[in-house]
Each structure stands twice: as structure tokens, then as C-alpha cells.
Chain A
Amino acid sequence: MANSFYGGIKLNKQGRSHGLAPVVYTPAAVAINAYQQAGGDTTPCIKEGEYVKKGQIIAVSERLAYLHAPVSGTVVRLLTKDNSRYIVIKSDKTETCAPADPFTKPVAEITAEEITEKIRTMGVVGTYSGFPTHVKIIASRGKAFCLVINCVQSDPYGSFVREIVKEHPKELVYGARILAKAIGVKQVIFALENNERKSFSALKSVIGEKDKLISVTRLAPKYPLGEERNLLCAVIKKEVPAGRATHDIGYTVFSAETVLRIYKACAEGVPVTDKYLTVSGEKCASPANLIVPIGTSLRAVADKCGGVPEDAACIYGSAVNGANADLENGCVTKSTSQLIITAPANKKSFDCIMCGKCITHCPMRIAPHTFIDGSHRPAWAKLCDMCGCCEYICPSEIKLLDIIEERKKEAGK
């Protein structure tokens, strides 16, 4: 099929938050988890009682991206809970910013190493995975020749990515040029869903007709197009060999929000202190796209959008593969993307009827039903993306994601 990939599911867009411009929301206090990056821990470099400005570095690490104060105010506590270290800051509501630190040199004179270091010190990490961006840049340098920018949000409620693309086409193109320089790629492709006409024309007009570096492509919307490997399959009709990373076949994928962060870090000198996210769902009183400081409690975010009714469930992540949100202890991290307030699923979980629907819908072309009795191939447990297509389509309402998660743990031992 043209511009698509194998399997997946066509979902109706539950677009209650679509087209709503992101709103800035500032809570009274934030608790920043120092463990929020994939790959390790950062060490707090501030003391209790100290006054911090917004954007000031509060936790450092030798290899990983830094953490910055998301609000200005006083550090109330440094506490350790559930094996994570939290930095609690009480906002003084003044939003006093630390001085911005952009590049003073013209773009042509900045080296790739300088850009990478800047991205690290400004705390840029992946939008969904929380993987440090500079590590990915260094890994793909010299191997990747094409950069694909993921402007796709294929799950039914998510909408903040398309708002970013609609509002910031100039920043994205600038960020893409900086990122292309940092990695050393010869081609940049913006991947959009084909129903995003406004964003497409906005990007086109910013890029211009004659640009040889950057192009825009449109893809058929289908869940989970946003996953890296499915996106590559749709854009270049090529699959990443099993056990390899995307840069091994010469492509690297960055999300639109990451590119926007890179632009802000390099051109404006502003670190990552907040996160775009979507709050939506059938039971959500006022769905919205929000810009929230890192560390805001999930309860505060849900309350901002009308709260969680008693008969509703609050899902952290997509409605197709998310988990129940921990509203009491959970806080917004750099990889939080959605909070869905909707009716709970109440799955009955009958026995498998061998209909084979999970196989025809699995984008990884594995047989999810074999995980139930453990007769799956060992390599499949590693390959599974946890996209949730099989669980969505299963007529017996089997909780396949939980089962696969367990098998993954067994395989990891």
C-alpha cells in the first residue's frame, strides 16, 4: 500500500482536543523526578531552601541531559520515594527566568560537537521514550544520511504534535537544519499525516521550492504510524533489520517536539522546562492541549481540565496502549504525552477463539496469540512495540499487553 505499513488499525479520531491551541498552565508547586531519563540518574546540584530561577540547572550528570528548574521559586525538599529522587520546588509565581544562553556565532560557524553539547546542557530528551537526544545524535552521526522528522500523532486522542507543527513551522525548519548539521545528514524529510493540509502548506512555504535538503511527505493515517519503525516503513518502504537501530539502515527519526526543543535550545538559549501534552477523552470536561512545567502532578493537570469523575478512568499515555495513571504520586516528565479521561474498559477476557485478527493487525507481523500459552518465538518478545493493536482488535478481550509484558520479562531473565 502506498505510504503506509503492514497491519495497524484504522481508528476514528476522537478529536475533542484537535485544533485547540496549547495553553500554558503553571501549578503552585512541582516535584521533579531525577530519574526521568532513559539510561540513568541525574544528581541534584542545589540545596534545600535555595531560590532557583526558571531555567536554572538543578540536576547534572556526566553523560545524560541536565534538568532545569521548571518554575522560579524555593526548593522545598529533596526527597527519595519509591527508588526515585524528587526535587520539590514551590513556585513564587513570578516566572523569573535565568539568563538565556543562545549561540552568539552565526549558524555556519557552529560545529556539530557544539550543537550536541548545547542540546545536552539544555536538557533535550525524546518526546515519547525519554531517551537523551544527544546520545541518539552521536549514535547516528556518520551512519545516517537521512533525517525523518516525525510530525505524526496517530493515536485517536493525541493532538499536541499537530498543534506544534501548525504553530511553529519556521522554528521546526530551523531546528531541522541545526539537527541535520549536528548529525551530518544530506536529506531531511518531514512526515505528516495526509489530513494535515494546513501544516503541510505552512511547512512547504517556509521551506521554499528549491530547497534540496528538506522535503515534506504525507502518509495515510493509521495507528500506530507514529512508531519509529512503522513510520520508516511508510516513508521509505524499508524495514529495519531485527535487532538493529534505524541508523543502521541510514535513517534516523526525531519527533517534531524534540526538533522544536532543539531550536529553542540553540537559537533562543532556552532549556526544556515544560512539556506539551494532550488531556482529552469522553469523560473529560474541557479537553485541551497544555504546556505544563515538568514536575506538575498529574492530579493538578487532570483538575485543570475538569477533573476525573468517579466513574471514569484516567489513562497515562495513549487510549490504545496506555496504563492507569498514578494520579496521587505521578508527575509530568519529559516523556509524558497524554492523559485520557474516559470510561474504563471492563474487559471480560474470554478464551482465545483463534480468529487470527491479532496477526493481521500486528505491524510487527508476529502472532500475538501465541504469547498466551507461551508458544511464541523468543525473538518476538523483543520485537513487540507494545502498540496495543492486538488487544484493541481482540474479540475475546484478552489482555494481551499484560501477557506480552510478562513474557518480555521472562525473556529478559
Chain B
Amino acid sequence: MTYSPTLQDKTKALSFAADRCVILLLPLVWSVYAYGARALFITFISVLFALAFALGVKGLQKQKADPFTLLDTAVSGAVVAFTLPVSVPYYIPMLGGILSALPSLWLPAGRKPVNGAFFAAATVRTLFPKLLSRATQAFVYISPWLFNPAEADVNSFRTYTPLQLLAQGKVSSGTLWDQFYGTVSGNIGEISFMLLLLGCIFLLVRKKMRLHAPVAFAFVLCLVTLIFPKGDNEAIFFMLVSLLSGGAMLTAVFAFSDTYSMPVTDTGKLVFGVGTALLTVLIRYIGVAEEGVYAAVVIMSAVTPVIDRYTLPVAYGRTKVKGGKK
């Protein structure tokens, strides 16, 4: 007998990638407002190289690229651009785009070995640590036509991000609200906590992401930073800066909505969120980089198949249900 049910839920696979594409737009618009056209150029270059690489490889394999893979690759390219400061020379988004498209080559039939965007972000950060720590002030515009802005020019607008200051045990001059809205220095897509939060809510409402991973991640990150503040900072302040500044929210939105590198079950997603938060704090505390969240996501997404294997659901009839009466 072949089944042929006619009722089908209206949510389509493509909309998972399309919705992630949509939530890119708000932070992108904000980054152009805060950093000028150069932010748009960086994102564009990264997406272009990611797509070109993916299409090139598919062409060599004589396969047709399906729309889901293309959209997913484009999102990965844009997310890696979001983790770059606006002063970077253009060869970094080129490299980042190509690296971010690498794990997408496993699509659509298989699981990604790691999360592409965050793998690229962690790699370029390891390769060019100095270039990537040159965050500049918001609302100071660098010309988009400079391939590699002169170091002296960049240094004249250079400001430390709140997270970098925190790693040095200092406190930024702006208020927490500045970090919430995104009027401080930082990486182009990460500065506005509010807009990323809106994207997160959009995904949750549209049921493209489960609540488990972002909530577990935020909760554990807050808890650990609250208990173990670093430097002479006030614990609550330290906690809020850890959450508001840097790539924490970008992770919550774009890493946890990438179904191909996330565990399938709700328990698995919970484990992923907790693991990412713990690794982030660990790398921030004892590692060399002030931003540990990219490496944390890469590590967790690499162990996702293992998480999946041990968090398969307990089937009906194999556990006791609470509140059962005799």
C-alpha cells in the first residue's frame, strides 16, 4: 500500500533559509547607518565570494545548485561579514566568504560538518587577530573605495569595543543602552543587540527556531558571568556587557537557527546552548581572544552528531508519566 495523504502543513523547507535571509536585513541597514557604505560592501563581497565558490564547486561536480543551498550559503556569507569590523581590508571578507561556503558543500543531502559562518569567523580571527581587533567608532565613516585602509587612518578612529575593554578589566564610557541600541564601536552586524533580538523573536514566532538553545545559552552565559565576574567590575554590569556586546546575540540568532549544524531533538538543542555558553566563557576567561563565541559554536557544531546520538527521544511507553493515577 502506498500512502498519499493530501493534508500538508504550509511551512516549506525553503522558508527556513528565507526567514534567516529576511532577518539579516535589519542589522545590515543599521550597519550602513552606523558605519557607512563600507559595511554594505564588506557584506556584499563576502556573500558574492561564498556564492561564487559554492556555485563553482557545484559546477565542477556537474550538479545543479538547489535554492535552499544557495540561500543558506548566502546567509553564511553575510553572517561572517557581520563578525568583521568595518576597517578590515577587503581580502578578509573574500576569504571569509569562501571559508563559510565550505561546509555548505555537504548540503543538501548531509549534515554540515561544522557551522560554516562561525567556522569562517573563527578561522579569519585566528589568521588575522590584529586586523580584526581594530574596531572603529560608530558614525565615523571609512571610504568604501579603499581596498586596504591605511593603518594610521584606522588608528585615529579606533576605539575599543566594550567587550575588549572588559577583557582588559576596564569599563566603557557609554551606557548599557548604547550597547542595546547599537551606537557603540563593534563588528558591523553585532553592534545592535535590539535588532538581532527582533530577528530572534521573528524566528521564534514563525517557528523556524526552537526556544531551547537560545534560552539555555543566554541563561548559562548570564549565570556564569554573574557568579565569576572578571576584573574589578560589578557582577551585574559584567554579565550584561558579556551578553549585550560581542557575538553572543548573533550566535543566538544565526547559529541556533541553522538546522543543518544543530542537534535535531529539543534536549540536544538544550545541550548545544549550554555547551556553547560554557565554552564561550571558558575561552573568554583563559583564552587569548576576547571573543570566544565563534570557536565555541564551531566546537559544538562539530560534536553535534554525538549530541544527536545520545539525546534521541525516549519513545512512548518506555517511561513513567508524572501524575498518573492508579
Chain A residues with CB under 8 Å of chain B are 6, 9, 11, 156, 229, 233, 236-244, 313, 315, 318-324, 340, 342-345, 347, 350-351, 353-357, 359-360, 362-367, 369-370, 377, 379-380, 383, 386, 388, 391-397, 399, 401-402, 405
Given A237-B323, A237-B325, A364-B316, residue A369 in contact with residue B264 (CB < 8 A): yes
Known: A238-B321, A359-B264, A395-B11. A353 touches B5 (CB 8 A): no
Contact check: which of B4, B12, B16, B263 meets A315 at CB < 8 Å?
Answer: B4
Which residues of the partner chain B approach A321 to less than 8 Å between Cβ atoms? 3, 5
Nearest CB in chain B to that of A366: its residue:
B315
Q: Are A392 and B13 in contact (CB under 8 A)?
A: no
Contact across chains for A397 and B8 when beta carbons are under 8 A apart = yes
Q: Evaluate whether A365 and B316 lie within 8 angstroms (CB atoms) in the complex, with A239-B321, A360-B266 already known.
A: yes
In the complex, are the beta carbons of B315 and A391 less than 8 A apart?
A: no
Interface core residue of B12, B260, B264 (most chain A CB under 10 Å):
B264
Q: Are A380 and B315 within 8 A (Cβ)?
A: yes
User: What A residues does B324 contact at CB under 8 A?
Assistant: 236-238
In B113-128, which residues have CB < 8 Å from any A CB? none
A373 to B221, CA, bound (A): 36
Query: Across the two chains, which residue of chain B brings its CB closest to A363?
Result: B316
Kindly identify, within residues 275 to 326 of chain B, every residue whose CB is under 8 Å from any CB belonging to chain A: 312-325
A239-B317, A244-B317 given. 12 additional CB < 8 A pairs? Answer: A156-B7, A237-B323, A238-B324, A241-B317, A241-B318, A340-B6, A345-B5, A355-B259, A360-B266, A367-B312, A393-B11, A402-B2
**Known contacts A350-B108, A355-B16, A379-B315; A344 and B265 CB within 8 A of each other:** no
Cα distance A394–B259 in the bound complex, in angstroms: 14
A365–B314 touching, CB < 8 Å: yes
Using a CB–CB distance below 8 Å, which chain B residues touch chain A? 1-9, 11-13, 15-16, 66, 68, 108-109, 111, 210, 259-260, 262-266, 269, 312-325
Q: Is the CB of A356 within 8 A of B108?
A: no
Task: With both chains docked as a complex, state the minimum distance between the C-beta of A372 and any C-beta of chain B, in angstroms.
Answer: 10
Query: Which residues from A are CB-within-8-Å of B4?
Result: 313, 315, 322-324, 344-345
Residues in A with CB closer than 8 Å to B8 are: 345, 347, 391-392, 397
Across the A-B interface, give the 8 residue pairs with the lowest CB-CB distance, nearest first.
A401-B3, A242-B317, A356-B264, A351-B108, A396-B13, A364-B316, A395-B13, A238-B324
Q: Is the CB of B6 within 8 A of A354?
A: no
Complex Cα gap A323–B1 (Å): 7
| Cβ-defined contact, B260 with A11, below 8 A | no
Q: How far is the CA of A165 from the CA of B128 in the complex (A)?
A: 74
Q: Say whether B3 contacts A239, CB under 8 Å.
A: no
Alpha-carbon distance between A364 and B319 when the two chains are bound, in angstroms: 12
What distance in Å separates the Cβ of A168 from its nearest Cβ neighbour in chain B?
Answer: 29
A345 near B266 with CB under 8 A, answer no
Looking at the complex, which one of B6, B66, B111 makes contact with A345 (CB distance below 8 Å)?
B6
B322: A residues at CB distance < 8 A: 237
Q: Across the interface, name the chain B residue whose C-beta is closest to A385.
A: B316
Main secondary structure of the interface of B (DSSP, over half): loop
Contact of B313 among A324, A365, A402 (CB under 8 A): A365
How many Å lie between the Cα of A106 and that of B51 in the bound state?
82
Least CB separation from B17: chain A residue: A353
Residues on the B chain within 8 Å of A392, using CB: 5, 7-9
> Are A365 and B315 in contact, with the CB atoms below 8 A?
yes
Report whether A342 and B6 are in contact in the complex, using a CB–CB cutoff of 8 Å. Answer: yes
Q: How far is the CA of A394 from the CA of B11 in the complex (A)?
A: 8
Instruction: State whether B321 touches A237 (Cβ < 8 A).
Output: yes
Contact partner of A393 (CB less than 8 A), chosen from B2, B9, B259, B260, is: B9
Chain A residue at minimum C-beta to C-beta distance from B262: A354
Assembled-state Cα–Cα distance A10/B25 (Å): 33
Q: Chain A nearest CB: distance from B325 CB in Å?
A: 7
* Chain A residues within 8 Å of B9, by CB: 9, 392-395
25 CB contacts below 8 A, A to B, read: A6-B316, A237-B323, A237-B325, A239-B319, A323-B1, A340-B6, A343-B6, A344-B4, A350-B68, A353-B13, A353-B259, A354-B262, A355-B13, A355-B16, A356-B210, A367-B264, A367-B265, A380-B315, A383-B317, A392-B7, A393-B11, A394-B9, A397-B13, A399-B3, A401-B5
Chain B nearest CB, measured from A4 CB (Å)? 12
Question: A240 CA to B210 CA in the complex, in Å?
Answer: 29
Question: In the complex, A386 Cα to B68 Cα: how many Å?
Answer: 29
Contact assessment for B13 and A350 in the assembled complex, using a CB-CB cutoff below 8 Å: yes
Are B16's CB and A324's CB within 8 A?
Answer: no
Judging by beta carbons under 8 Å apart, are A315 and B312 in contact? no
- Residues of A within 8 Å of B6, CB to CB, are 313, 315, 319, 322, 340, 342-345
- Chain A residues near B11 (CB-CB < 8 A): 357, 393, 395
Which residues of chain B are within 8 angstroms of A386 by Cβ–Cβ distance? 3
Residues on A with C-beta less than 8 A from B262 are 354
CB distance from A16 to the nearest CB of B (A): 14
Q: Which residue of A lies closest to B323 (CB)?
A: A237
Known contacts being A233-B321, A365-B316, A367-B312, is A391 close to B3, with CB within 8 Å?
yes
CA distance A322 to B312 in the complex (A): 28
B271–chain A nearest beta-carbon distance, Å: 13
Give the chain B neighbours of A156 by CB distance below 8 A. Answer: 7
The answer to whether B3 touches A402 (Cβ under 8 A) is: yes
Residues of A within 8 A of B260 (CB): 353-354
